[in-house]
Amino acid sequence: MKIRKESTIVFKDDVGYVGLQRAAELLGMHQRAVRNLVSRRRLEAEREGEGAAARLVVSLASVERLRLERQTAGKDSKV
């Protein structure tokens, strides 16, 4: 798996991923809420790195899909 970093976007096999903070900013919510959505499988995520230095990266496509769902349903709707 080839990893290429460009600013805050990580590319794995030509699929874009962002860190938790950026995903939270794009969705207008807290990082904890993004982690909860990942654990409930509403967002796709992968671990980047190994051991203590590993971090969670979230698929840009799943962030955009959820953002559009929330926009369609209204921002105050639960996800």
pLDDT of residue 49: 86
For residue 27, the number of C-alpha atoms closer than 13 Å in the C-beta half-sphere is 33
- The more confident residue out of 2 and 24 is 24
- The more confident residue out of 25 and 78 is 25
Residue for token digits 């499988």? 41
Q: Render pLDDT for 13-44 as a digit per residue (tens, 0 to 9).
A: 667 899 999 999 999 999 999 999 999 999 99
Model confidence, pTM: 0.74
Task: Find all residues with CB under 8 Å of 75, minimum gap 6, and list them.
Answer: 28
